[in-house]
Each structure stands twice: as structure tokens, then as C-alpha cells.
């Protein structure tokens, strides 16, 4: 028997990067991580109950469906690998719930039928970021599902296939939205459509709507090149003035030369790590939420501290002179506290050694005469950009 075409399509899509000679770690770059999750919601099945009843009954018996229940709870558990910001792969187990119906038959009798679908899935998941914490999701994959039916007849309802079972692989797809609460907790709301077998030779579909909690793990900070200490520059030798001509001195007996003491080479210590980040690269206008680019910078800063001893990490928030002074002082302090909270959650960082303070407009980098000429508000914002910053500096012995 030829392999299922849906299975071949899923394998080709999931392992295309490897077939092109691209290693997973090369594709992942700085935004890769593993994750697992659990979801629950509702499934709604679309089986052709009249056709099912006709195929389940013996020849000569007809049925009229009186009632049907197409909705039930649905569940799933899954694990995944996020290659980068936009693409990941996911494998999972699902239970799409139970659907049932009852019918009257001729000759006189009744028929009760139930159908249940469970299985495994293999998906490609696309992510489209809409902001700092919200993303759209789209997925396509293959579901390896087992459909198990049960038909019970009474009276003249003679059942020819009381417990049919069928296993098939079929395509599935879905759309949804994801919200990141923290780097280690996200929530998804997704709608999916599964094509399934009805266990009697035909196909049906089941639509699900689920809410899932996702738990990322294994995230690594972005690597950062470590600057090497530059050797100390040697001062140029002072020019020698010509000696005046003089009578040759009387001969003297030369003493035994004494070797000069060796001089230890001067070593310039590497400066302590320091990061000065413009507010525009860390926060949106008047916002206290870190942008993704700022998280990457702070991850790299934390990686440079690995294995070093330090006394304190000082985080200082600054603001420009636009707006009310009190508001700028509060905003600069809140932004410094947000950076402190993020660094405290990174591995290898001692939260007790972090200090944060907001300076408001008290330490500008622009002079009072700068940006004084009449200009539009947008031009003034650009001119005062150097004053809006967050400084992260480490002190100690290095």
C-alpha cells in the first residue's frame, strides 16, 4: 500500500530545513525555545447521521434520525519548538469529544449511535507579531486520528456493524491569537478544523475552539562578543638634543654592568559592562512595557556577567525636559524598575545586588542652549532624544 499523501506532505514541510542543509540551531537564532502546553474547549462534529445509520443497519432496515448531540468538550496536550519569531513545529495529542444520535427504524425499533475521535497531530505553526506581547497564529498540519463508533439497536433495528473503528491521517488547519504574559507564560485562543473518518467509509469534519496555556522553556540569551582589552599605548621617546663638543674624558676603569630589573608589563583591565539604551529602543511612547528589542539587549548584557564577580548593578532612568517634571520623574523611576524586574528574572543575576533609580530631567545630556530655536514638537522630540535613556552599569572588581 502506498504511504498516505498527507503524512508525506507533513514530513516534507517539517524537515525541509534539514534537507536544505540548515541546522536547527542556525535557523533558530536568538528567538528559539521549546514549549509545552495544555488546552481545553468545545468541539462540534459534522457527521451525516442519516448516512451512518443506513450503513450501520442490516439491509432492509431504514432509519429516521430523531435527535442528535454534536457538541462536547475537547482537550489537547502538546509540545513544540519555536525556530524563530515567525515559525515553529508542534506535536500533540487531542480528544475531540463524543457525538451521538438516536433514530427510529422500520421495522419498528430504535438505533442509538455514538462516535468518538482521538489522535495525534503534527503541525507547522506560523506567528505574526502585532506588538510587544500579542501575536496572530496560523497552523497547518496532519491529524492521525482514530474514530470509534458504537451502534445499539432495539426491536427490528438489526445492526450489521455494532463497533466499527477506523484510523486515518487527514489535514487540519487553524487560526488564533497568542498573548505573552511573561517570558515563561503565554495564552492562546484558537479555532481549528479537523477532517476525520466516520469509521464506515466516509469522511466528516470537527470544528474546535480551545483556550491553551503555553509554558516556554530552554530560552538562551543572545550571544554577545566580548570586547578585548586594548594594549596600553607606548609614549613616544622624547627627542634627544645633541651633546656639546668637549674634551675627551680621561680613561676610567669600567665597572661590571648591572642588568636592569625587569619591568612588569602594564595590563589594562577590561572596563566593567555598561549599557546605555535610548528609551525609544526599550519602551513605546509613555509606556512602561519593555519592547522585544530591549529584552535582547538585556539578555546579552546578562550573558556578559556570566562568571564575573560584581558588587552592584545600577539602573538609572532619565527623561527629557518635555512635559511636567513630576510626571517625568515618576516615568523614569517606573522604567528603571521594569528593567530591574526583568534582569532579576534572568539566570545568573543576583536580584539583591540590583539598584534602580529615576533621575527624571535632572541629568540631561543636552545643554540648555541646545534645541532652543523655535521648532515643531516632532523636531524637538528628535533633538532631545539623548536625554531619554536608561543606563545599566556594573561596579566591582573585574
Report d(CA 18, CA 25) in Å as an integer: 11
Q: Is residue 169 part of a domain?
A: yes
At 216, list the grid cell.
516556554
Report d(CA 324, CA 335) in Å as an integer: 17
Q: Is the pLDDT of residue 283 over 60?
A: yes
Q: Is residue 259 part of a domain?
A: no
CA 314 to chain centre: 28
User: What is the model's pLDDT at position 29?
Assistant: 39
Q: What are the b/e assignments for 72-82, b being 16+ CB within 10 Å?
A: bebbbebebbb
**Chain segment 68-91, per-residue pLDDT in tens:** 999 999 999 999 999 998 999 999
Q: Which residues pair with 209 in a beta bridge?
A: 42, 191
CATH number at residue 330: 3.30.1330.60
In the 8-state DSSP scheme, what is residue 131? S
Answer whether 101's CB lies under 8 Å from 70's CB.
Answer: no
Q: Is the pLDDT of residue 43 over 80?
A: yes
In this structure, the strands spanning 312-318 and 354-360 are: parallel
Describe the crossing of helices 325-344 and 292-304 by its angle, rounded to 10 degrees.
60
Is the domain of 141 the same as that of 51? yes
User: Nearest CA to 394 among 287, 290, 275, 295?
Assistant: 275
Confidence class of residue 135 from pLDDT cuts 50, 70 and 90?
very high
CA 353 to chain centre: 28
User: What is the model's pLDDT at position 273?
Assistant: 64
Q: Is the pLDDT of residue 62 over 70?
A: yes
Confidence class of residue 102 from pLDDT cuts 50, 70 and 90?
very high
CA 358 to chain centre: 30
Confidence class of residue 255 from pLDDT cuts 50, 70 and 90?
low
**Chain segment 186-213, per-residue pLDDT in tens:** 999 999 999 999 999 899 999 999 999 9
The residue range of the domain holding 34 is 5-217
Q: Is residue 231 part of a domain?
A: no
User: What is the model's pLDDT at position 165?
Assistant: 95
Report d(CA 246, CA 364) in Å as an integer: 64
Average pLDDT over residues 94-120: 94
Number of domains in the chain: 2
Is the domain of 288 the same as that of 204? no
Is the domain of 185 the same as that of 280? no
Confidence class of residue 272 from pLDDT cuts 50, 70 and 90?
low
At 331, list the grid cell.
516615568
HSE-CB at 20 with a 13 A cutoff on CA atoms is 10
Amino acid at each position: 500500500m502506498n504511504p498516505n499523501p498527507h503524512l508525506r506532505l507533513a514530513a516534507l514541510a517539517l524537515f525541509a530545513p534539514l534537507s536544505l542543509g540548515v541546522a536547527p540551531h542556525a535557523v533558530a537564532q536568538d528567538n528559539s525555545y521549546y514549549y509545552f502546553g495544555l488546552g481545553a474547549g468545545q468541539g462540534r462534529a459534522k457527521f451525516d447521521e442519516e448516512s451512518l445509520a443506513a450503513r450501520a443497519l442490516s439491509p432492509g432496515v431504514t432509519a429516521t434520525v430523531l435527535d442528535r448531540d454534536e457538541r462536547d468538550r475537547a482537550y489537547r496536550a502538546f509540545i513544540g519548538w519555536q525556530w524563530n519569531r515567525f515559525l515553529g513545529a508542534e506535536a500533540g495529542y487531542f480528544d475531540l469529544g463524543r457525538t451521538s444520535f438516536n433514530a427510529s427504524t422500520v421495522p419498528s425499533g430504535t438505533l442509538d449511535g455514538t462516535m468518538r475521535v482521538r489522535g495525534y497531530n503534527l503541525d507547522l505553526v506560523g506567528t505574526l507579531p502585532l506588538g510587544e506581547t500579542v501575536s496572530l497564529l496560523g497552523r497547518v498540519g496532519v491529524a492521525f486520528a482514530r474514530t470509534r463508533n458504537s451502534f445499539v439497536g432495539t426491536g427490528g433495528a438489526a445492526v450489521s456493524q455494532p463497533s466499527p473503528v477506523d484510523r486515518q491521517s487527514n489535514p487540519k488547519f487553524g487560526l488564533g491569537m497568542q498573548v505573552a504574559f511573561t517570558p515563561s507564560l503565554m495564552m492562546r485562543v484558537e479555532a481549528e478544523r479537523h477532517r476525520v473518518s466516520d469509521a464506515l467509509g466516509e469522511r466528516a469534519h470537527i470544528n474546535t475552539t480551545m483556550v491553551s496555556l503555553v509554558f516556554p522553556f530552554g530560552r538562551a540569551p543572545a550571544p554577545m562578543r566580548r570586547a578585548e582589552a586594548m594594549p596600553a599605548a607606548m609614549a613616544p621617546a622624547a627627542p634627544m638634543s645633541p651633546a656639546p663638543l668637549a674634551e675627551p674624558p680621561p680613561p676610567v676603569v669600567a665597572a661590571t654592568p648591572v642588568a636592569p630589573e625587569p619591568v612588569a608589563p602594564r595590563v589594562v583591565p577590561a572596563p566593567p559592562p555598561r549599557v546605555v539604551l535610548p528609551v525609544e529602543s526599550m519602551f513605546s511612547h509613555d509606556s512602561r512595557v519593555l519592547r522585544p528589542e530591549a529584552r535582547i539587549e538585556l539578555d546579552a548584557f546578562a550573558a556578559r556577567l556570566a562568571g564575573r564577580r560584581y558588587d552592584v548593578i545600577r539602573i538609572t532612568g532619565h527623561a527629557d525636559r518635555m512635559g511636567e517634571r513630576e510626571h517625568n520623574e515618576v516615568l523614569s523611576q517606573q522604567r528603571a524598575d521594569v528593567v530591574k524586574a526583568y534582569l532579576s528574572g534572568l539566570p545568573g543575576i543576583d536580584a539583591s545586588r540590583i539598584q534602580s533609580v529615576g533621575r527624571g530631567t535632572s541629568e540631561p545630556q543636552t545643554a540648555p542652549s541646545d534645541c532652543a530655536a523655535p521648532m515643531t514638537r516632532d523636531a524637538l522630540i528628535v533633538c532631545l532624544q539623548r536625554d531619554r535613556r536608561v543606563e545599566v552599569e556594573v561596579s566591582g572588581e573585574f
